[in-house]
Amino acid sequence: MNFDNSTKSMDSINLSSLINHDNPKLLYVYDFMKMWTFFVELIDEGELINKLKYPRIIFSNGMMPNVAPKKIFDKKDFENEIDDDDDDDFLI
């Protein structure tokens, strides 16, 4: 889903253009409506070995659920945050 010609689809981007040894971490949100979120980290680079699929997963934490978990946003906390700004001298 591209919004304009300058927006690239994730299927056309290589991981090597996003993460490297100087910038080894990436937070990837797969679906903004369901908030599927993945933390990706480059651990090491090595020579390609025939018959292995790349990139390789060398560590994962937890089991992937069939359905994305619901995100709970507490409306009361949000309203209290807005009320705190009532005394802000710089609030327009």
Strand partners, 27: 39
| pLDDT single digits (tens) 30-68 | 777 777 788 888 888 888 888 888 878 888 888 877 877
| pLDDT single digits (tens) 2-30 | 566 777 777 888 888 888 889 999 888 87
| pLDDT tops 60 at residue 81 | no
Residue 84 has what pLDDT? 55
Q: Which is it for the CA torsion 11, 13, 14, 18, positive or negative?
A: negative
| pLDDT band, very low/low/confident/very high, at 71 (cuts 50, 70, 90) | low
Q: Which is it for the CA torsion 28, 30, 31, 36, positive or negative?
A: negative
With beta carbons less than 8 A apart as the criterion, state whether 68 and 30 touch: no
Burial annotation 59-88 (CB, 10 A radius, 16+ → b, else e): eeeeeeeeeeeeeeeeeeeeeeeeeeeeee
Residue 25 has what pLDDT? 93
